[in-house]
Every structure is written in structure tokens, then in C-alpha cells.
């Protein structure tokens, strides 16, 4: 019986010594990664031009600023949720303007230009004010007497991609309707792209 008591006492002392020498310390490295959410474009769903009276011989010019359209979104909103890569905002037309009877107005007669915002030619909503700049060759419908037509894809603006941001731009469009163009409603699809 005496021997059993001694073993129990030694066990209690050993546990007490271990508890006194054990001080738990935990060090955790904390990391957070911010990932880009992508690019977004938002704007009007329809750009409508005013009705024009036909002419047999004269070219009729019809213009429409994105600020003048009937849609509630009178701008093109560019959102860069990435920050880190430069990008371009492009505009293109899918085909010549065409009426239901198949008559066409060539894309060489469909012109584009940038219209200045209230600030640095671009209205900055968030981010750097110089994070997006307009293409200066599109300050007018003609660059050095050459029309800025939608017969080719045009770069409207360039983003630096230095940090995420959001900007509004205001393209203007013009159609030169040749004399003798058949009556009808002419349409095409315009595509804005971030590349």
C-alpha cells in the first residue's frame, strides 16, 4: 500500500512542473489578396438620330451626341475593377447602315468623335483623374481631312490601369446621307469594347 502512494505523488509533481514551463505562443501570418473584378461598360441601348428629309442631289448631315439621346444613360460608363493593366475603349459598327429593303449607307459615311466631359476631357467618377484619356485624333469628325469613319474600329480612349477607377465619356456620331438615298429607317449595331 505504501508503494502505491509514492507513485501517485510523483505523477502529480511531474504534471505540475510541465504546466509551469509551458506558455503557449501562436504567431499567424495574415494575408489578403485583392483580385481584379474585370472591366465593365454601361451606356444607352439605343442611339437614335433625328428624322431627315430626303434630298435628290445634296448630302444631308445628321449628328447625335450621346448626351442628346432619348435613353436615360447619356454617357458611356467605363469601369476598371482590375487596376494593373492598360486598356483601350474601342467603337465599331457591325455592318453598313441598312433599311428593311436592303438599301445601304456605307460605313465611310458614319463618323465618330469624342466630346469633352466637364474635367480633363473625361468625367472621373472614382480613381485617378488621368486614369483615362480620350484619343486626340477623335477631337473632330475629321483628323487632317481624313474622316474618322466607322469603316474601321476606332479607339475612343486609353486607360492607364494604374488603379481601379470609373469614368464617363461622351462620343458623338454623324451620318452623311448621300443625295438620292432611298427612304426608310436605316440601322446598324454599334459595339463598344474594352481591350
Q: What pTM was estimated for this model as a whole? A: 0.80
pLDDT digits (tens, 9 = 90+) for 111-134: 999 987 665 579 999 999 999 999
Report how far residue 66's alpha carbon sits from residue 195's, in angstroms, rounded to the nearest whole number: 22
For residue 12, what pLDDT is reported? Answer: 47
Helix, strand, coil shares of the chain as percentages rounded to 5? 15, 35, 50
Q: What is the DSSP letter of 11?
A: H
Read off the pLDDT band of 6 (50, 70, 90): very low
Cα–Cα distances in Å, from 36 out to 33, 40, 195?
10, 12, 15
Confidence grade of residue 5 (pLDDT, cut at 50, 70, 90): very low
The continuous run of DSSP H or E covering 158 comes out as strand 154-159
pLDDT, tens only, 33-90: 776 678 999 999 999 999 999 999 999 999 999 989 888 899 999 999 988 889 999 9
Residue 47: what pLDDT? Answer: 92
pLDDT at 22: 61
CA-CA distance, 65 to 176, in Å (whole number)? Answer: 15
Amino acid at each position: 500500500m505504501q508503494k502505491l502512494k509514492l507513485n501517485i505523488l510523483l505523477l502529480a509533481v511531474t504534471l505540475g512542473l510541465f504546466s509551469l514551463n509551458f506558455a503557449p505562443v501562436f504567431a499567424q501570418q495574415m494575408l489578403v489578396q485583392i483580385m481584379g473584378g474585370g472591366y465593365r461598360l454601361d451606356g444607352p441601348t439605343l442611339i437614335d438620330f433625328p428624322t431627315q428629309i430626303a434630298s435628290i442631289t445634296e448630302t444631308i448631315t445628321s449628328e447625335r451626341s450621346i448626351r442628346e439621346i432619348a435613353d436615360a444613360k447619356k454617357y458611356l460608363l467605363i469601369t476598371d475593377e482590375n487596376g494593373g493593366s492598360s486598356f483601350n475603349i474601342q467603337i465599331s459598327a457591325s455592318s453598313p447602315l441598312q433599311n428593311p429593303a436592303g438599301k445601304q449607307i456605307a460605313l465611310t459615311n458614319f463618323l465618330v468623335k469624342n466630346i469633352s466631359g466637364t474635367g480633363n476631357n473625361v468625367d472621373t467618377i472614382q480613381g485617378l483623374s488621368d486614369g483615362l484619356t480620350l484619343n486626340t485624333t477623335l477631337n473632330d469628325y475629321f483628323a487632317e481631312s481624313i474622316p474618322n469613319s466607322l469603316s474601321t474600329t476606332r479607339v475612343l480612349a486609353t486607360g492607364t490601369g494604374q488603379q481601379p477607377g470609373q469614368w464617363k465619356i461622351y462620343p458623338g456620331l454623324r451620318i452623311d446621307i448621300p443625295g438620292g438615298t432611298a427612304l426608310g429607317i436605316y440601322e446598324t449595331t454599334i459595339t463598344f469594347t474594352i481591350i
